[in-house]
Amino acid sequence: MKDPVNSSKKTSDKGGDRPLSGFFPRWMNINILAQDVGFFILGLIGASIVGWVIFPAVLYSKHPQPINFNHALHLDSEKVDGIEGETKAEKCLFCHAFRDDGTFVGIPKLESCTECHDDPESPLGETPEEKAFMTKYVANEEEIPWLVYSKQPDCVYFSHIAHVKMGNIDCATCHGDFADNEKLPLYVKNRLTGYSMNIWGKRISGFYWNKKFSDRMKMDDCARCHTEKGQEQNNACFVCHK
Amino acid sequence: MKLTRRNFIAAVVGGIAGIQATPLPWKITDDVAIWTQNWPWVPVPPTGEFTEVSSVCNLCPGGCGIAVKKVDERAVKIEGRTDYPVNPGGICPVGMGGLQLLYDESLRFTGPMKRAGLRGAGEFTEISWGEAFDILAGRISNLRKKGTPEAIAAVDGNPEGTTVSVLIKRLMKAMGSPNYVRPLSITDTYRMGNLLMQGTLAPMAYDLENSDYVLSFGCGLLEGWGAPGRVMNAWGMWHDGNPAKRKTRIVQVESRASNTASKADMWVAPKPGTDGALALGLAHVIIKSGQYDSRFVADHSSGFDDWRSLEGTNHIGFKTLVLEKYSPEQVAKITGVNPKTIVSLAKGFANAKAPVAIYGKGKDSLNGSLYEFMAVQSLNALKGSINRSGGVLLPDPIPLSNLPPLEVDAIASEGLKRPRLDQAGTMRYPFTDSLINNFTDAINRNPKSPVDTLLVFSANPFFTLPDGGGFKNALEKVPFIVSFSPYRDETANMADLILPDCTYLEKIDDIVWPTGLQYPLYGLSKPVVEPLYNTRNTGDVVIELSRAIGESVGSGFPWENFEEALQARAKGLFDAGGGLVSYDPDAPAWQRQKAGNGPKPGYKSFDEMWEGIQSGGMWYRPVSSPKSWQGLFNTPSGKFEFCSKLIAQAIEHYSNKISKKAALKNMGLAAIDDEACMAHYQAPKAGADRSVYPLLMLPYEMINLASGWIPSPPFLYKTIFENQLLKDKSFAAINPKTAAKYHLEEGELVVVKSPAGEVEVRINLFEGAMPGIVYLPLGFGHTAYDEFLKGKGVNPNNIVQAGQDPISGYPVWWNTPVKLVKV
């Protein structure tokens, strides 16, 4: 099949009607260029839809936590007794504690929960979540398979004590403020890496105007903070990647 | 508007351009990088609380202290302990890889089982512990009812003196069977030699750390002899990197350039099995030059000079024997070592201040020869290196309590009167307490197996015995086999019933006196993790089994559990007083004799001591000053005996029963009279027509493979060189001269044939191999376990043709005639 636009024979036939038609190369035909641009934009739009909408939707899956832990309730000293601490950070560290050797507990194990919730038969509150927690985990002495929002790859060595105790950084600075949180957010899991969306950040673009440290947890964010705090030496590779 | 090719390209270009402005390519790139870090087959250590449990390694009789790092309940790493007297921080590769023995499920039995498939197929069905006890106790009770308790036999690979072995022996006695046998190790040779020459019962105690001249006859000091952590640390002290600072000279006597030989100051290579002759050659030079310790010889030894008995018979002494028969020239003919080397070696030994001659055969997991040991020990005596710092120490036996006397019932007392199948302790093998090679023969010789039920504890004789596959054949004849092994080893695969033990990281167990250590040490290993599977400590199982068999057997086991039995024996440690239960690395246990006042034990009651042992894993008495000579030697003469009176008595005793000639022949002796009572060299029997089998095969051991009953952790196969194992073929190391003679090239496939069997290997040309000898590595050639161990290389034990060592009856596994046939 012959392409009407590109067929040299046809254009030369019409040559007499259009001055300069012999001067401009044929591909500069305005109609043809308009078509090119149209399809180009079409591709551009398609790609943008794929890249900005479809891709994030496909990349991430949403998972609820095994039970809904109510941080706000536990930190409310009027309702819950026993979690001590002057400041919010101190209250965080009551459960998310440092061990004697300085290592960080992370999410507490069941045994921390059962210091108060010790009897599966008699819940301390009235919420269905607590009931589920008691019957499913406390009664069976089974650890809760929490999904950790801030879990980093194995090749990253992060020392909480260096940041919290030596660097005086508040928990919320990196993790966001969980203290008033009544419902645990969904765990948005990257299907490829298995890690939470919290690491890359909620914005798929990765760009923020006023980026907070709790927005993202990528290496650049670590480095930015180190730099801002005058700790550039800690940006050396082997400080974190052992 | 039609979609033309041009339009399509425009859209694609637009798409490509557009996609750059979306996060997709950048995010995907980042995610893919992270994804590669998270492949499911890449092991990622768990996160959790870091803890460390101090215990003692129980994989060999060396008993090194281990610190096991844990993350929550998962053990993640084994390191050597610096707060343990045996091994100041060091540990061998097998010990390091021990976690695989715990966590590699394919190596282990996960609960009691009975056989489902053919013998050796390794197919089992799980049963309950109750059912397992019922089956075994029922079978034993039946045999006892029939009045044939001696048809129960046990092979016990636990080192002698450990509480579990004491309980197993006790169970055998309570059931009424004399047939308790153990796989042999170098400690058996030491024990017999020490008994005959020194009359001492304590284990061999070489004061290596304080020696300035270590003359090692075959000890694989860098191959895992003794407690590997200890020996390597001692080596580090001897062998300062700066030659000017070297305190100790190390001479290795061995036909192959092993790691030890290569790193020693001097390597002397006599023909295999002629170490004793070489030692006597050195004795000749030392005596002739008058450089021996005349004071020790005169005051504390007997049998050195010629003597005349009360009846008026003349006897020759060690001096005459050695001067007549072992001149350097004569010895050179036997050993192939240059006479000049013999003289210079003798001078080196004689001129040292604190020399020690040590005897071994590779690691300590195989036996040696009695007369070879006696020849080496005679060298120590000549130089007065006995009961002297840096030589051979004579500590008291470890003061563990004896268990209460066992009262056996009528059936048992009848059974115990029956002869042992292995003839150990008879006139023929008067000083031997267990002889597994004879035990195997007894089963193989009889058309019907005299053993009905065979119990196998902590042993894999199918794989480890140098018997040309004899034990394997015996297993096929035994009607009922019970394995207590935690591992799916070759012997267990032949078993009908499995009562699996816990692995050494899951149970409490004791280690009594690590091989070769110069001071008494009682180690206690403890559970590092809870048992992963439905397995039980064999100590507990033995106690429970005794009760299941019946009241008359069970009454001999009054302990609630194994730990109580351990405590019952440890009482003696408390009563003896003075033992330490903690260790300060700044004051090494071997240095105490110089420092004088060491630390004091901090406990006041038995419970406190036991608590201390449990937490520290040790009870020990540091080396003290040399002991008083009074009553030191418990021999008939009360002195160190160059010429053993016990041997003379045994020969005489036997000669009274049958003719002297027959007695000597049965005992395997070519020498007669006084010579037979002293260290001497006797050429082993050829065993085959040497024109058909012109070469000799010698198995050798490596530090990075387990050679005993424990499987090698599969990790260790990563440390094997390509000239030791390539794919499924292991290598025979031969000298290039031997290779040239038989037109063999590096890597060529050959069959090594002996009268006992054949194996297919590749050739490795090795200058450090003695011409005429084919060296095969031990530890390969499993027919059990998983894909990583099974079928890798060959097991040289399968082609060993072993004669018997004179008097001891131990297998002479270092003298197998072979030939090489090209494939």
Are A98 and A13 in a shared domain?
Answer: no
C-beta of residue B89 within 8 angstroms of C-beta of residue B109:
no
Which chain B residues have a beta carbon less than 8 Å from that of A194? 38
Q: What is the CATH number of the domain that holds B332?
A: 3.40.228.10
C-beta of residue B456 within 8 angstroms of C-beta of residue B485:
yes
Is residue A154's pLDDT more than 90? no
The whole-number pLDDT of residue A11 equals 45
A44–B1: do the CB atoms touch at under 8 Å?
A: no
Which chain B residues have a beta carbon less than 8 Å from that of A103? 49-50
pLDDT in tens, B483-524: 999 999 999 999 999 999 999 999 999 999 999 999 999 999
Q: Is the dihedral of CA B671, B675, B679, B681 positive or negative?
A: negative
The whole-number pLDDT of residue B564 equals 97
Are B387 and B515 in a shared domain?
Answer: no
Are B517 and B413 in a shared domain?
Answer: yes
Q: Are strands B497-498 and B113-115 parallel, antiparallel or unpaired?
A: antiparallel
Is residue B174's pLDDT more than 90? yes
Are B722 and B769 in a shared domain?
Answer: yes
**Domain range holding B602?**
113-187+400-620
Q: Are strands B65-71 and B74-80 parallel, antiparallel or unpaired?
A: antiparallel
Are A186 and A90 in a shared domain?
Answer: yes
Average pLDDT over residues A228-232: 93
Is residue B594's pLDDT more than 60? no
B21–A32: do the CB atoms touch at under 8 Å?
A: no
Q: Measured between alpha carbons, how far is B28 from A54 in angstroms, rounded to an integer?
A: 13
Average pLDDT over residues B603-614: 95
Tokens of B36: 């590669």
A127, part of any domain: no
Average pLDDT over residues B141-163: 96
DSSP assignment of B475-530: HHH-SEEEE--SB--HHHHT-SEE-PPPPTTSS-EEEES-TT-SS-EEEEE--SS-
Are A159 and A200 in a shared domain?
Answer: yes
A39, part of any domain: yes
First vs last C-alpha separation in chain A: 64
Write the DSSP symbol of residue B306.
-
Name the phi and psi angles at B659, rounded to 5. Answer: -65, 155
The whole-number pLDDT of residue B39 equals 84
Asked which of B392, B427, B459 is the last residue of a domain, the reply is B392
Is residue A7's pLDDT more than 50? no
Helices (H), B435-482: 436-445, 461-464, 470-477
A112, part of any domain: no
Are B506 and B552 in a shared domain?
Answer: yes
Which chain B residues have a beta carbon less than 8 Å from that of A242? none
The whole-number pLDDT of residue B45 equals 75
pLDDT in tens, B685-721: 877 888 999 999 999 999 999 978 999 999 999 999 9
B668, part of any domain: no
The whole-number pLDDT of residue A79 equals 84
Share of chain B above pLDDT 90, in %: 88
- Substitution target in B5, B8, B19 with the highest count of A β-carbons within 10 Å is B19
Are A12 and A103 in a shared domain?
Answer: no
- Substitution target in B3, B6, B26 with the highest count of A β-carbons within 10 Å is B6
Q: Measured between alpha carbons, how far is B667 from B661 in angstroms, rounded to an integer?
A: 10
Is residue B379's pLDDT more than 90? yes
Are B366 and B419 in a shared domain?
Answer: no
Q: Which of A48, A193, A195 lies closest to B18 in CB terms?
A: A48
Are B406 and B503 in a shared domain?
Answer: yes
The whole-number pLDDT of residue B783 equals 95
Q: Measured between alpha carbons, how far is B282 from B377 in angstroms, rounded to an integer?
A: 12
Are B159 and B217 in a shared domain?
Answer: no
Q: How many domains does chain B have?
A: 4
Which chain B residues have a beta carbon less than 8 Å from that of A45? 14, 18
- Split at pLDDT 50, 70, 90, the class of B246 is confident
Are B436 and B548 in a shared domain?
Answer: yes
A19, part of any domain: yes
Are B523 and B486 in a shared domain?
Answer: yes
Are A47 and A93 in a shared domain?
Answer: no
Are A70 and A82 in a shared domain?
Answer: yes
B330, part of any domain: yes
Are A20 and A71 in a shared domain?
Answer: no
Q: Measured between alpha carbons, how far is A181 from B613 in angstroms, rounded to an integer?
A: 51
Are B176 and B223 in a shared domain?
Answer: no
Are A71 and A53 in a shared domain?
Answer: no
Average pLDDT over residues B90-111: 95
DSSP assignment of B581-648: SS--TTS-GGGHHHH---PPP---SHHHHHHHHHHH-EEE----SPPPSTT---STTSSEESB-HHHH
pLDDT in tens, B783-800: 999 999 999 999 999 999
Is residue A145's pLDDT more than 70? yes
The whole-number pLDDT of residue A8 equals 47
Mean pLDDT, chain B, as a whole number? 94
Average pLDDT over residues A63-76: 92
Q: How many domains does chain A have?
A: 2
C-beta of residue B804 within 8 angstroms of C-beta of residue B667:
no
pLDDT: which is higher, B93 or A20: B93
Are A13 and A100 in a shared domain?
Answer: no
pLDDT: which is higher, B152 or A90: B152
The whole-number pLDDT of residue A12 equals 45
Q: Measured between alpha carbons, how far is A39 from B574 in angstroms, rounded to an integer?
A: 94
Q: Which of A32, A46, A192 lies closest to B31 in CB terms?
A: A192
Is residue A53's pLDDT more than 90? yes
B283, part of any domain: yes
For B33, nearest residue in chain A (alpha carbons): A193
Are B572 and B464 in a shared domain?
Answer: yes
Share of chain A above pLDDT 70, in %: 90
Q: Measured between alpha carbons, how far is B735 from B796 in angstroms, rounded to an integer?
A: 18
The whole-number pLDDT of residue B157 equals 96
Are A38 and A68 in a shared domain?
Answer: no
Average pLDDT over residues B563-589: 92
The whole-number pLDDT of residue B617 equals 95
Residue ranges of chain A whose CB lies within 8 Å of a chain B CB:
3, 5-6, 32, 35-48, 50-52, 55-56, 59, 99, 101, 103, 105-106, 153-155, 190, 192-195, 200, 204-206
B23–A41: do the CB atoms touch at under 8 Å?
A: no
pLDDT in tens, B419-472: 999 999 999 999 999 999 999 999 999 999 999 999 999 999 999 999 999 999
**Domain range holding A72?**
64-107+146-240
The whole-number pLDDT of residue A22 equals 66
A23, part of any domain: yes
Are B212 and B350 in a shared domain?
Answer: yes
Are A89 and A189 in a shared domain?
Answer: yes
Interface predicted TM-score (ipTM) of this complex, two decimals: 0.84
- Split at pLDDT 50, 70, 90, the class of B597 is low
Are A80 and A29 in a shared domain?
Answer: no
